Each structure stands twice: as C-alpha cells, then as structure tokens.
Chains A and B, each alone.
Chain A
C-alpha cells in the first residue's frame, strides 16, 4: 500500500548497504514483523485497572460535568451514579492530582 517504503528501501549508502532509516524517515509498521503482544487475560486485567483508576482519579470532575447536563431523567441517572463515587474519591483525596494539574497548568493554558 505504501510505495514510500519501497522507495526508501532502494536508497543505499556509499558502501552499497541500505541506509539506516531513523526519525522522520522511519518505516511504517510492517505486519510481518513480530510485535509485542499480550494474551487476552492480561488485556482484561490491564483494561479493568485502567477503567478503575481513571474513574477514581476523575470521578469528581465527571460528577461536575454530569451536573451541567440538561435537566431530565438522563441527568438524574448519571448524577445519582457519579455522586457517591465523587464523594468517596474526594474524601480519600484522589481528586487532588487532576484538580492541582487543572489549577496550575490547565486553567492557564485554556484561559
């Protein structure tokens, strides 16, 4: 599909050996190459951890966003779900990393 790979492959150095392709000239992913993979069980574990930690670190912010939704049953549902999560994570202090980052960099960047 990518003919550029072939063009790059044709280029050789003064000694006749193919030039090393680095940085912006690096080749595209080659499906034939062996890639680092995980078995499914490990992916399940990784993804579950990802969701749980992401939820814990962002529950307070998520709750604030839910409160800004238009009034109606959808808002009521999501607020009811996120409120206890936000209370727990705020009590434990898990909301602080995001709040600190937002206050110190995010707000200044998006002003």
Chain B
C-alpha cells in the first residue's frame, strides 16, 4: 500500500476511527493497531507479514531471556552468546533475501570463472551447469519490502536490552506494535525501541493533545514533494538521462544529476514526513529524519542532516562498537570507512552501493584529517564566514551529487558513462535540450522544500492552529486537490522501498 493513494486514504481514515474509538480498551486497541499494521504490510504479501510477526516473536523472546539472565547474574559470556545468535539470525534473514543474488551472481561466479578456465573445459562446463541451475532459483527470491528497516529496529531493541539501556517491552503485543507500526514500517524513520516502545505500552489517551496542524503540514508537504516534484524530476530528467546517458550532452547530464539529487531528497523525505504526520494524528511521536541536508557545509554535517535515523543507528551500533574515535587516528579512519562501506551495502546489493559507501567513507576520513590539521573546525573560532559557508554548501552539494551518480547508476558502466558524458561536456549525439525554464524551476522548488524540515515553519504552525477545525480541514483538502491536479496520473513507488 502506497501513501499517496486513495486506498491508503481510506485505510488511514478507518484506522484513525478505530484507534481513537477503542481508547478506553487498551488491549483491544493494541490488537487493532497490530492487525491494521499487518493488513498494511499484508496488502503487498501475507507471507512476509507472517515473517514479520515471527521476527517480533523471536526477538522479544530473546530480549526477555537476556533480561532474565542479567537479573539472575548469569555469566556475561552466555548472554553475549545469545546476543550473537539473535544478531546472526536477524542479519542472516536480511542477508538471505537481500544479498544471496549479489553474492552468487556478482561475487562467487565471477571469481570461479577464471579458476574454471584455468582448470579446463570440464570445469567450465560444470560451472555453466551450476549457473543454469542456481540462477532460476535466485530469481525467485523476492526482497520483502522494508526488511532492512525492521531488521535494524529489531537489532537495536535486542542490543539495547543486552546493554541494559532499555527494558524489554511489557508484552509481546507492545513490541510487535513497535516493530510493525505501519507509518514507519517500510521506509523508516528507524525509530529506537527506547523511543517508541514506551509509547506503545502507554498508548495515547483521549485527552492527549494532538499536533494536528503540524501533522497536516507534514502530510501535505510530503504529498507535494512526492507527487509533484519527485515524480516530475524522475520522469522528465533523471530517468531518461540515466537510462541513455550517451544520448545527452554534458550540461543535460549535469542537470539530470542535480535533478536526481533533488528527486531522492523529495522522495525519501516525503515518506518520512507522511510517516511522522500520520503517526502524530494517531498520537505517536517519531524523531525527525531530515534537516535540510543540502544546506550542509561539510560531509559530516550532511550525514547529521540526511536520513538521521540511519546515520545515528550506524554510529551507535556499528561505529562506536568498532571503537569509534577512541582507539587512535588510524583506527578511527578504518572504523569510518567500514561503517560507510556497510552503510552503502545496507542500501542495496550492488557494487555501485559499495562504491558509494566507500566514497563517503573516504571523503569523511579526508575531511576529518584536514580538520585535525587545521586544529578542529568544530570550535567557535573555526566557524566559517557567511561566504565560506555558502561556498561549503555548494561544494558539498556537488560532492553529494557525484556520489548520487554511483547510487543511481545501478551498474558501474552507467555511472562511468554519466561521468564521461559530463566530462565530454558536449556530445556529438544531441544538443542541450533539458536546460529550460520548467526543469530549472522544478529543481529550485525541490531544493526549497527543505524549508519544511525542522522547525522552520514554527510561527506559521501557530497561526494555523488558531483556525477553526473545519477551516483547516477544508483548506487542507483544497491544497490536496491542487497537488493532485498538478501531479501525473498514478504514482511511482518510493525509491527507498527497494532498500
């Protein structure tokens, strides 16, 4: 079920009614919410909805066991063994669905081919037969939508219980509601157990005040970003140029890269906005996931503003356990690189995602080294001037755009053709065709939507709140009609669904 569809609008209306009508019956309400979340996920595949339920059962059972072992002062080694087992189980499940095809088709067979050729024709034939048998089996593996997100949430839960930073959920139902809660189930934000489990245990009461105006602004902003901006940029600029880069001139390819940078921001932040807004209307609070990322002045700053729930997850559950910056300069650089390599691989099973992660890791390492030589730019004295800050923003925007070529390319050949096309500046195939008024306006509007992030609309929200409920509802419906009229027929799935 996609957010910007009529089906979701009906579904959400019914969930809103049921959720608040059952406010005096907490247990029934929790069961209702879980059923709604499973229906939302099962709308795509019931088999995977059951898998999600199974994941909730197993992870909660292990969390309870870890807690009991700690209370009984069990030896740390046995607790660690149990944690290792559940982490391996979660990662194994993720790895099977997400990386089997990549490991077999892009790593194993390319390694075996030259070995087979060296051994002789018999080995080559054996390899060909093995490929013919394995490839159809691999092609039948379907990636469950949102598996990367709910696996990371489950991991954070068991690790936090193991570290005794958060207690286990009061009941399996509360944990299942945390893991499967439909607004953030398929594309985040990755909400920590410490944040959402207590909300699921308590459940918002009928007297709880609701941030309705903020919810409405977030949902409508998300719909505008996705339906009008991201869809347009994808279909008119990014998709055609990334599909046939050799057909376009250098400036056109450059514009398509800018368009993709804006498209992926509008697409992904739209999902987060709608998720946060929908949760607010049901009385739940999620942390922010974006904070005007293209206003970052350094790449480190970018990662503090882009997909913040993932970057903080990688920091807390990967970078810091690896030693963070506490084990010397060299080890810090290795940790950074490893974290971003795995962060890249999290996004997808392809060499381009690994290269994307490696690029970010290496750049951050270089940035850190330069900052170290300059004596630390985090201090007040190191704050850049206004001009310096803007130059930094423009530079980092281009650094990130370069990395998006790897991210979007899908294949190394496509990324290479895009880069060669920009370098050639003017292709013999086509003239400059895309630099026109409308594409530029759409890119600028997309960049400007970053103003919806954070609390930049604070004063306007106060003003909206003073309107009568019917007026705000009617105004929201009018804005929705404008958005639908400006958008194309049908909506493409969100980019982050594939991760």
Task: Please list the residues of chain A having a beta carbon within 8 angstroms of any beta carbon in chain B.
Answer: 1-4, 7, 10-12, 23-31, 33, 35-40, 42-54, 57-58, 61-62, 65, 97-98, 101-102, 105-106, 109-110
Check if B312 sits within 8 Å of A40, measured CB to CB.
Answer: no
With the chains together, A39 CA to B283 CA distance in Å?
11
B301 in the interface (beta carbon within 8 A): yes
Q: Which of B438, B474, B476, B482 contacts A101 (CB 8 A)?
A: B482
Chain B 6-25: CB-based contact to A (< 8 A → 1; otherwise 0): 10010001001000100000
Top 9 closest pairs, chain A to chain B, by CB: A49-B473, A24-B295, A37-B209, A53-B477, A101-B485, A36-B465, A46-B469, A50-B473, A54-B477
Are the C-beta atoms of B295 and A106 separated by less than 8 Å? Answer: no
**C-alpha spacing A105/B228, complex, angstroms:** 12
Chain B's nearest CB lies how many Å from the CB of A40?
5
Give the Cβ gap from A3 to chain B, nearest Cβ, in Å: 6
Residues of chain B in range 320-335 having any CB-CB distance to chain A below 8 Å: none
Contact of B301 among A4, A36, A61 (CB under 8 A): A4
Inter-chain contact B484/A61, CB cutoff 8 Å: yes
Inter-chain contacts of A109 with B (CB < 8 A): 232, 438, 486
Residues of B within 8 A of A (CB-CB), count: 61
Give the complex CA separation of A110 and B488 in angstroms. 6
Q: In this assembly, does B208 line the interface, its C-beta being within 8 Å of a C-beta of chain A?
A: yes
A85 to B393, CA, bound (A): 50
B210 within 8 A of A: yes
CA distance A31 to B285 in the complex (A): 9
Q: Is B368 an interface residue (CB 8 A)?
A: no
Further pairs besides A47-B473, A97-B478, A109-B232: 8, Cβ < 8 Å: A2-B312, A23-B456, A26-B455, A35-B211, A39-B209, A57-B477, A65-B489, A106-B487
Per the bound structure, the CA–CA distance linking A61 and B473 in Å amounts to 20
On whether the beta carbons of B20 and A40 are closer than 8 Å, the reply is yes
Is A46 a contact partner of B472 (Cβ separation < 8 A)? yes
Evaluate whether A1 and B287 lie within 8 angstroms (CB atoms) in the complex, with A47-B16, A97-B481 already known: yes
Tell whether, in the assembled complex, residue B13 and residue A51 are in contact, meaning their CB atoms are under 8 Å apart. yes
Complex CA gap A43/B476 in Å reads: 13
Complex Cα spacing A87 to B456, Å: 42
User: Which B residues are in CB contact (< 8 Å) with A48?
Assistant: 473
Given A54-B480, A106-B487, A110-B488, CB of A38 within 8 Å of CB of B212 = yes
Q: Quick check: A10 and B380 within 8 Å, CB to CB?
A: yes
Q: How far is the CA of A27 from the CA of B454 in the complex (A)?
A: 6
A44 touches B214 (CB 8 A): no
Mask, B382-402, CB within 8 Å of A = 1, is: 010000000001000000000
B291 at interface by CB-CB < 8 Å: yes
Interface flag for B1 (CB, 8 Å): no
Q: Counting CB contacts under 8 A, is B461 at the interface? A: yes
Please determine whether A106 and B486 come into contact, CB atoms closer than 8 angstroms: yes
B462 interfacial contact with A, CB 8 Å = yes
Question: Could you show 5 A-B contacts with beta carbons less than 8 Å apart?
Answer: A7-B378, A36-B465, A38-B210, A106-B485, A106-B487
Q: How far is the CB of A87 from chain B (nearest CB, A)?
A: 18
Whether B6 lies near A2 (C-beta < 8 A) is: no
Q: What does the 1/0 interface line of B108-126 toward A look like (CB < 8 Å)?
A: 0000000000000000000
Question: Among the listed A36, A47, A61, which residue makes an inter-chain contact with B211, where contact means beta carbons less than 8 Å apart?
Answer: A36
Q: Which of B214, B235, B469 has the most CB of A within 10 A?
A: B469
Shortest C-beta distance, B274 to chain A (Å), equals 14
Query: Contact between B304 and A4 (Cβ–Cβ < 8 Å)?
Result: yes
B481 interface neighbour in A11, A37, A54, Cβ under 8 Å = A54
Q: Are B454 and A26 in contact (CB under 8 A)?
A: yes
Min distance, Cβ A108 to any Cβ of chain B, angstroms: 9
The contact of B210 among A2, A43, A45, by CB within 8 Å, is A43
| Chain B residues in 8 Å Cβ range of A39 | 207, 209-210
Contact status of A37 and B232, CB under 8 A, knowing A46-B469, A50-B477, A105-B486 = no
- Complex-state Cα separation, A52 to B473, whole angstroms: 9
The reply on B143 being an interface residue by CB < 8 A is no
Inter-chain CA distance A33–B427, complex, in Å, is: 54
Most buried by A among B285, B473, B486, B488: B473
- A-facing residues in B259-298 (Cβ within 8 Å): 281, 285, 287-288, 291-292, 295
Chain B contacts for A42, CB-based, 8 A: 212, 469
State whether the Cβ of B373 lies closer than 8 Å to any Cβ in chain A. Answer: no
A11:B380 contact, CB within 8 angstroms: yes
In the complex, whether B352 has a CB less than 8 A from a CB of chain A is: no
Q: Which of chain A's residues have a CB closer than 8 A to the CB of B208?
A: 40
- A58 engages B212 (CB within 8 Å): no
Cross-chain contact A46 with B486 (CB below 8 angstroms): no
- CB contact list, B214-255 vs A, under 8 A: 214, 216, 232, 235
When each residue 419-458 of chain B gets 1 if its CB lies under 8 Å from chain A and 0 otherwise, what string results? 0000000000000000000100000000000110011100
Taking a contact as CB atoms under 8 Å apart, the answer to whether B481 and A49 are in contact is no
- Identify which of A37, A44, A50, A65 gathers the most chain B CB atoms within 10 Å of its CB: A50
Residues of A within 8 A of B207 (CB): 39-40
Selected contact of A53 from candidates B13, B285, B478, CB within 8 Å: B478
Asked if B281 contacts A47 (CB within 8 A), the reply is yes
> What residues on A are CB-neighbors of B210 within 8 Å?
37-40, 43
